Structure 1
């Protein structure tokens, strides 16, 4: 009895996650979303320099 109840509750919650509408991501320019294109270009150059220098990994989060 308890197993059936728990299974039903878990199934209900897991199926309700699929009912949520997620926003569609669209492509935008850096300037449209508040980033400076020139600074991002400089960051790209810096990352490429790190890769060329042989650093094994880089992780940049904006």
Structure 2
């Protein structure tokens, strides 16, 4: 699945079938998870984080 965030327009563009994504999520609420993706992507851009995996390893 591809998600493109446009912070200037405050929108996200999703390239996938949301039903398929919702089926594999623990609570089935795809919009909640897309909100999380938007929020985290904004943090990554603002903090210039190019390797999110390494960023999360700092908190382990």
- Structure that is richer in helix per residue: 1
Say which structure, 1 or 2, has more relative contact order (CA 8 Å, 6+ apart).
2
TM-score, normalisation: structure 2 = 0.38
Asked which structure has the greater CA Rg, the reply is 1
- Structure that is richer in strand per residue: 2
TM-score, normalisation: structure 1 = 0.37
